Every structure is written in structure tokens, then in C-alpha cells.
Structure 1
Amino acid sequence: MELNLTKGVTAISNEVYDLHMLVLWICTVIGILVFGAMFWSMVFHRKSKGVKPATFHESTKVEILWTAIPIVILIAMAVPATSTLIEMEDNDNSDITILVTGSQWKWHYKYFDQGIEFYSVLSTPREQFDNRDGSGQTKGENYLLEVDKPLVIPTNKKVRFLITSDDVIHSWWVPAFAVKQDANPGFINEAWTRVDEPGVYRGQCAELCGKDHGYMPIVVEVKSEADYATWVSEQKQLIADAKAAEAASLNANVSMDELMQLGETTYTAYCAACHQPTGLGLPPAFPALKGSVVATDPNQIEQHIAIILNGKNAMPAFGKQLSLKEVASVVTYERNAWGNNTGESVQASDVNALAGGASAAAAVEQTAEAMPPMVDSATSELENPQPTTEDLSKTYTRDELMVQGEAVYMKACVACHQPTGAGLPPAFPSLIGSPMILGDVTAHIDIVYNGSKKNPAMQAFSGQLTKTEIAAVVTYERNAWGNNTGDVVQPADVDAVSAK
């Protein structure tokens, strides 16, 4: 029935459905008995039939009955409900962990251990769902539940979701999985699912999160294990291609026409919802770009780029969502569209310099001779066919370890524990003054090297970082953000822990 709860496609969702039906029938029977007794009494014991009301005042038996019976009914409902709720909260022994982040008004998915992350955005053109499309094209059945990149998970695997937000409160809801968890900024909620049959399952944000709340859909594509493995390989290749294209764009000088064309496409997809296709915005929350100082003043180009990269007020940061070339193109478009006509063009190298890419590259270059490269780096293997080995007996200074440690932390740890070390409790605890940081050094090395048995969100980095890099990042964490333990960890210390 369309009015009833859907059964879903997972064991948990079926348990929820069965629980719902059990409670529904219990309530139905109670309703029939109570209202039946009430109407029967009114009909057959009415005054017009000469019935005289009873005069008794109290009855211990009746008191016991109408107290005991509801208690029994509540217990009958509570036992299966508690069992189902406990199972829904059991996130242990997951095969895959995915970080789900709500961001006005799209979802960001990050696959732990895979290096895959992307944004998922409503793919239906705004003109179509706003009924302003003059093409006469018929909307699809799921026109408000279609995305450009669906979340992809495999069958027969326990998938754990860590759900948070980087702006306001959202809610990640997929009815077919019986999963509905709030995405709160600064906190992480957990959920999980295991789907047995391939298919496409849809949901949407279930929390009133702003003006485009109704345009924040969720699409989950469940693939067979073989197809999922193929998809993972394809995504890694796409990431490699994107990195190569990004590197190439730093040396390219793109024409104004190409920048304007890409900029218009990017603006329509990411900016038009708030600032409007006309650039007039929705003041005061979303100011006009047409004729604005930031989009026309030649002295504010860097500020213009910085706002897009880092966000401001209600505007989210697009630094992780757009490539350097896309940021350059949309800045160029905004400075030349709607009559702004500054004639200024911005290149990817300009964005990279402002984003800190130049300084990051310099830091890597400065430490290249002091610290060995990652042993398992595919790039290193291509450049040097001889296997790279670490000198585990080498001793580094505290300053060398701190420089390299910061670089490693910003690459491998910052997404979960934040640049400030404050983390995202409870899944990713703060590193500032934490017992692990200030306590036993060996335990700290062990949790970075082998991961945490108590918290599966903390993965093992032994296969991703060299022992020298682990020594550096442990040294950095124990001395950054005011921790100041003075501890210095060497590669030999990490090797000793790994041998246990």
C-alpha cells in the first residue's frame, strides 16, 4: 500500500517493517476493543432504556488488570523493538567505511582505504525542475532524485557510514535501507547497511537545511562484488587522470573564450542556485555579483579567488569541489559576465599560488633530500625501477621530523582530525592534549601503524606510509597544537613496534 511503510531491501529494513506491522496490529486490536466497549456501553446502557448506573467506587481487581495488561503489552512491543535498535547500532566488523558529509546542497562521499572521494549533486537542470525550460522536454519520473555521481557500494558487504556536515544540519535518509541519520556539523553519527541484491535506491535530505533543501537527493547504486571492483579501478584511473590534467593546467595559458565557456558551465552548476543566473543574487544572504566591488575591482582578484576557495558567511568553500582550472574559469566568468567586463582572466596557476600550492611544493622540495620517499609510491617505482629502501638506522633532528610530519599529517590525517587537531568527536577524537598523544609513545606509534581495534574509523597506515613518515607524523602530533611533549620518534622506533 502507498500509505504504509515500505519493506526495504535489507534484513534490518524488513525487521523495521515487521516491527511496524506488529505495533500497528496491536494498536488496532486495542482500538477496536476500547472503542467497541465504549460504544456498546453507550448503546445498551443508556438512560432511555432505564439502566441505572452502578454505585461501586473502587475495585482492586480492575485496578490490577488495567495496570498489568498495558505493562504486558508494552513489554511485548519493547522486546523486539530493543533487539532491532541494538542491531541497527551495531557498526562493528564493517567491510567498507564511507564518510558522508552534507554540504549545501549536495553530499560528499569519501571511501576510506580507497582514496576515492567525490560530490554528488542533483543532475536535473534548474530550468527544468523550476518549470522554466522552454524546450518542452518531459521530466523524468525521478527528476528530483537524480544525481551526477551516485554513491556506489557492493552487495553482500557490511558498509558503515560516518555521517557529518560542514555547514548546517542535514539528514541522510535512504528508506530502502532503513537508514536515517542526522548530519550535524562538528559531530559524527553512524549507520550501516548490507544489501543483497544489486539495484538503484533513492533517498533525500530529511532535515530542513535551507533554500535548496528539496534539491538534495541521495542515490545509492548497489553493484555486484565484481562490478564494484571494476568501478573502484575506474575511479582510481579517473583520479589519476584528473591529477595529471590538474598538473598540466598549471603550465597552460587558457584563452579568455575557453575560460568563459567553462566558467559559465561551472557557475550554472555550482553558483546559480544562490547568486542566480543573472548574477543578481538573493540579498542579503547571497549578494549580487553584477557590478559588485569584489567582482569588478582589479585590486580584489585575490580576495575573489579566496572567497571561492574558502567560502564566506553562508557561502561554502569550493576549494575541494572544483579543480584549479574550474575555479580560475568561474572567477574569470564572474568578472566579465552581466556587464562587469573587466577584461581580466585568471589562470589555474594564479589559483594554485593563492591556495598555497606553491608553498606546499617548496616544503616538499626542501625535505626531499632529508627524508626518504614513500616505499610503495607508484610514481617512485616508475621513475626508479630499483626498489626503494629506508635507512631505518638514520637519525633525524626534531626540526626535520616536524617539517615532514606536518606534510604527512596534512596529506593523510587532516580530513578526519582537522588542521587544528580538534578532530570530529566522537568518531575522530581531538589530538590536542589527548591521553594517547601525551601518554605512551609506543601505543601512539602502534595505533598509527596498525590502526585502532576499538575504533574502526582509524585505519592502519602501515601500507600507506613509510616508517620514516610514521615517525615524523607521530613526532608532529606529539609536539603540535601546544602538546609540546618534546618526544622525538625515529624510524627505528617504528620498526621496533612493527616487529612485535
Structure 2
Amino acid sequence: MSRRNLAWLLWLSVFSNSTWANSKLNLTQGVTEISREVYDLHMLVLYICTAIGVIVFGIMFWSIAFHRKSKGAKPADFHESTKVEILWTAIPIVILIAMAIPATKTLIAMENNDNSDVTIQITGSQWKWHYKYFDQDIEFYSVLSTPREQYENHQGESDKSENYLLEVDKHLVIPANQKVRFLITSDDVIHSWWVPAFAVKQDANPGFINEAWTKVDEPGIYRGQCAELCGKDHGFMPIVVEVKSVEDYQLWLDEQHELIAQAADAEKASLSAEASMDELMALGEKTYVAYCAACHQVSGAGLPPAFPALKNSPIATGDVNTHIQIVFNGKAGTGMQGYGKQLSLKEIAAVVTYERNAWGNNTGDAVQASQVKSAAGNSTASDEKTLEAVTPTTTDTSDKKVDAPTVTNTATEDLTKIYSKEELMTMGENVYMKACVACHQPTGAGLPPAFPALKGSPMVLGDIAAHIDIVLNGSKKNAAMAAFGSQLTKTEIAAVITYERNAWGNNTGDLVQPAAINTAASAK
């Protein structure tokens, strides 16, 4: 083989896509169409930059070698050349346009969440992910499953798996060949949900919802992690996505619904059972190490001031109901999260028991699941009373106050009754504060883009029938907008629509009556 042919083979091997794709020093191609487009853009820019570098440095070294003084070269004596100025300005512009056109197309496609088949809300918190499947009544937390002793190197290296920092107790499961939309937010600090194989990397910001999507071609398991420095255990916040075939995904949904039903039965059974102190302490220690030790330490010494000690703590040795309520609901303004949705009543009872009897606390309290339910229920009732105390129950118009009418039973609802504007606005505000405010905010400003503003909204200011339809039946274009036809009475829906169309300066003057809602629901 000639030297020229050998040189060409080496050149092609260096710059071939397949060689770069298999290189551990390069980006991965990913498993979605978008991720492959991102990879191709990366390679295009790399080739262009390499070509520019070769040309520029080639000319520079050639000039140095062949126009040096020792060869008798004399520098040219000329001033600025207009042609050269135009040329070296025009060429970079053309190159930038050549790169910008495909990049813009890909970026637009990455932001296009239309016509999604599945919508999942992802909430980051220190240091786990919460997944909620819209329209499926399925939600769960996903946390690192590797024992603390392993990732803190208190056990031998041989015990660790290859992905020991990327293993979770529950995988996020999605269907293959379907568009999956992600609504990403946070309930404490900024996180970032990143799965390289999908080319999805989206920040999770408190009080704001970012969107992303993916459509995976082949079933498999794909791993990622939080890509934002979110605190002391940032490195232990992995993501595992399991992509199943459409058929297997449906089987998984059925299995989850069955597990939810079983968990509800177990929860009910635990309310009438009495666990021994030994059983509670064993389960409590296991739960504490898995969920609490990251902040409060295995020794209960905490990490003051952010994470206070539990050893000899006024909370852990004081009123037991206060202790339960803090574990169940969290504590506002601190790093203490609520575990009511994450742990069962029995697990909360066990971990409270453990905290009250470990590290020399020795209160002797053996907390049962029924006590947790009672204390948490009292806390919820207290919260509702507080909300009622700060939520207006009357609307002041024309110098008179009107009590908000209450409708609690659809069967006794009078759909022929005509309500005044004051009655509808008062009831509508109460309904809005209970059912809508979490997404659209008290000011109607929303949480764009997932939850659009209602203040000045074309939907609210436009056709009443369309407004009624979206509240009754939800939105097909935006799966985040749930249907309230089965959650609210027709009178409540009439009231909240009236409120939305006349609050925050909307002032359409429209009054929607229960009969109109009934007609729309019947037509559907």
C-alpha cells in the first residue's frame, strides 16, 4: 500500500462518524431522533471548526516558512484592502448562517410539546425525584437505592455494582414510540433533570414549571442524574428511566393501580394493628437511615444550623403530636420536607418512635399508625381553618356583603336557580382558591408555560362555551389542565368561570349560571 493511500485511510478513520461515535471522548449519539440531531450538529460544528483551524494555521505556518527574512522575502507595502475586508467579514457570516439554520430547527423541535401521548410531572427535592402521571392517579418518589454504607465507602469495593451511584428504588417508566411530555419543577432549591441519552436537560426551578419531551425508539434502561449543584447530597440524586413497549407499559400501569389498591388496604389494616416497640424501632431505624440520615446524620447529631440535631432535641423529646405533624407535613421555611406522601402511616409511626427513643432520648413513646392519622388529620383540619380565616367568604359590592352560597351535593343542586353576580363571584373566589390557585396563582398570573395566566387570557376573555368546555373536560392540547366536571358541582363550575371572567381586571361582565353548565355537560 502506498504512503498516499495509507494517509487517506488514516484521515478517513479520524473523521468518520462511526469512529467518533464509538469514542469515549466524544458525545454519545443517544436513542431519540432529537438526540441524534444534536449529535450531528455537534459533529458538523466540530468539522467546520477543524477545517477553519487547519486552513488558518496552515496559511500561517506556510507564510512563516516561505516568507521568512532568511529566504530574502520582503514585506509587502500596502494599506487596507477593501476586498480582503469584505471577504473575511462575509465568509464567517456565511459559516455562522450555515450552522444556525440546522441548529434553530433542532431547538424549535426540542421546545415543541404539542400532541403528547403521556404527561408526567417531575418535582425535584433534596435529594430525590417525585414523578406524577397525569390522568393515571399514579405518583411516587424515586431515590438512590444503594445503601449509604456502600457509597460512603464503609463497605468493600467488591460490593458495589457498576452503576452504584445511578441506581434507584423506583424507575420512571415510559412507553416506547410515544411522545412523553415532562413538566419539571422543584419544591426547594434549583435542580436539573438530565438524561443524556434523550438529549433532555431541563432545570427544575421552585415556583416555575419548565417543559421538555422525548420519544424513545427502543425499550431499555437509561440513566441520568441531577446536573445542578443542589446541596450536600447532590451527587446521590440519580435518574433511571425504563422504556417499555406500549403493551408492557399498559401492563405496568395495571400493576401500579393494583399496588396502590393493596397499599391502601395495608394502610387501613395498620390503623387497627398495634406494633410492638421492637418492631417499631427496627422499622424506624431502617426508615431513618434511608430517608433522614442524610440531613440529621446516623448519630442524630444533625448538621446545624440547617439540619438540627435530633439527639436531645425539644421536638424529639417534646409533644409527640407536634413531632408527628412535622414529619408528616414538614416545616415551612426550613429544609424539613413533609413525608406524608412518601411514607406509609406505619413507617412514619416507626421513624417517630425511633427518633424519640434512639441516641439516649428514651421517651418510651411507641407511636402507632392510628396516632399518626389522628395527628395528621388534626393538622390538616387546622390548616383548612387557617385557610378559611384568610380566604374571603364575602364580596363587597354596592356597599353590601353577600354570603357565599354553598353547594355540597350534586343530587340536591338546583340547576334552575339564577344567582346574582355577587353570589357567583363570592362562591367562585372560594372555589378558585381551593381548586385552581395552585396552578394559576391567586393573582391569575399562572406558572407559564405549563399553566398559562388567566389574567388577560384569550380563553377567559373569549368564547364562553370554550371556557366552559375546558373547565368541564380539561384540555387535549395541554394535559396539565385537568377536567373538573367530576370534581366540582355544576354550580361551582358556573361560579368559578364567572369569577375568572371578571377578576383581575378581566371585567367581561359575563354571568354563567348552573343551567348553562348542565346544558354543556349534557351536550358532551
- Kept in 1: contact 2:194–2:201 (CA 8 A): yes
After superposition, give the CA deviation of every residue in 1:77-113 in whole Å (9 maximum; x if it has no partner): 0111011111111100000111011011001111101
Question: Measured at CA, do residues 343 and 433 of structure 1 come closer, stay the same or move farther in structure 2, by a change above 3 Å?
Answer: farther
Give the Cα separation in 2 of the matches to 1:418 and 1:494: 24
Return the alpha-carbon distance in structure 2 between the equivalents of residues 173 and 107 of structure 1. Answer: 12
Give runs of aligned pairs for residues 307-326 of structure 1, distance below 5 A: 307-312=326-331, 313-326=334-347
> 1: distance between equivalents of 2:415 and 2:443?
32
2:257 corresponds to:
236
Q: 2:198 aligns with which of 177, 181, 193?
A: 177
Query: Which residue does 1:384 correspond to in 2?
Result: none
Residue 446 (structure 1) shift: 1.9
Deviations for 1:118-169, whole angstroms, at most 9, x for unmatched residues?
A: 00000000100111026x7521010000000010000110000011111000
Q: Alpha-carbon deviations, 1:20-62, whole Å to 9, x = none?
A: 1011000000000011111111122122222111111111111
Q: 1:352 to 1:54 in 2, by over 3 A?
A: same
Q: Which moved more, 1:421-430 or 1:77-86?
A: 421-430
**Match of 2:112?**
90
Match of 2:290 among 247, 262, 269: 269
Deviation at 1:369, TM superposition (A): 11
The 5 A counterparts of 1:188-203 are: 188-203=209-224
Q: Which residue of 2 aligns with 1:33?
A: 55
1:459 to 1:400, Cα distance in 2 relative to 1, 3 A: closer
In structure 1, the partner of 2:100 is 78
CA contact (8 A) 2:497 2:512 kept: no
Identity in percent: 69
Q: TM-score, normalised by structure 1?
A: 0.84
Q: Is the 8 A contact 1:173 1:180 kept in 2?
A: yes
Displacement, 1:400? 13
Indicate how the Cα distance of structure 1 residues 148 and 414 shifts in structure 2: closer, same or farther if over 3 A, else same. farther
Task: Classify 1:433/1:475 alpha carbon distance in 2 versus 1 (closer, same or farther; 3 Å).
Answer: farther
Counterpart in 2 of 1:446? 469
For 1:302 and 1:417, locate their aligned partners in 2 and report how far apart those are by CA, in whole Å.
34
Give 1:250 deviation, angstroms: 2.9
Is the 1:433–1:483 Cα contact (8 Å) retained in structure 2? no
Match of 1:371 among 409, 415, 420: 409
**Gap regions ≥5 residues in structure 2:** 1-22, 385-405
| RMSD of aligned residue pairs (Cα, Å) | 3.5
Q: Does 1:492 align with 2:512?
A: no
- Give how far 1:469 is off: 3.0
Moved more, 75-84 or 436-445: 436-445
Per-residue deviation, residues 257-304 of structure 1 (Å, max 9, x unmatched)? 22222211111111011111111112222111111111112xx32322
Distance 2:437 2:368 in 1: 27
Deviation readout 1:409-440 (Å, 9 max, x if unpaired): 86x76764579987533312466897867987
| Equivalent of 2:128 in 106, 109, 112 | 106
Residue 102 of structure 1 aligns to a residue in which SS?
Answer: strand
CA contact (8 A) 1:169 1:209 kept: yes
Structure 2 distance, partners of 1:152, 1:189, is 20
1:108 counterpart SS class: strand
SS at 1:172's partner residue?
Answer: strand
**Gap change, CA 1:273 and 1:225, over 3 Å in 2:** same
- Structure 1: 5+ residue runs without aligned partners? 374-389
Which aligned pairs between 1:325-364 and structure 2 lie closer than 5 A? 325-356=346-377
**Correspondence list, 1:98-137, <5 A:** 98-133=120-155, 137=158
Give CA-to-partner distance per residue, 1:419-464, whole Å, 9 cap, x none. Answer: 99875333124668978679876554321112235534213344xx
Q: Is the 8 A contact 1:279 1:290 kept in 2?
A: yes
State the AA in 1 paired with 2:327. Answer: I
Q: Tell whether 2:83 aligns with 1:45.
A: no
Secondary structure (helix, strand or coil) at the match of 1:326 reads helix
Structure 1 72/483 Cα, relative in aligned 2: closer, same or farther at 3 Å? closer
| One-letter amino acid matched to 2:116 | S
User: d(CA) in 2 for partners of 1:156 and 1:459?
Assistant: 24
Q: Distance in 1 between matches of 2:457 and 2:339?
A: 32
Q: Name the amino acid aligned to 1:309.
A: F
Distance change in 2, residues 1:491/1:243 (3 Å): farther
**Distance between the aligned counterparts of 2:424 and 2:98, measured in 1?**
64
The count of aligned residue pairs is 472
1:19 is aligned to 2:57: no
Q: Determine if the alignment matches structure 1 residue 287 to structure 2 residue 316.
A: no
Q: Which amino acid aligns with 1:315?
A: M
Counterpart secondary structure, 2:489? helix
| SS in structure 2 at match of 1:79 | helix
Larger Rg: 2
Structure 1 CA distance for aligned equivalents of residues 110 and 141 of structure 2: 26
Query: Is residue 301 from structure 1 mapped to residue 320 from structure 2 by the alignment?
Result: yes
Contact kept, 8 Å, 1:402 with 1:476, in 2: the verdict is: no
1:241–1:74 distance in 2 versus 1, CA, 3 Å: same
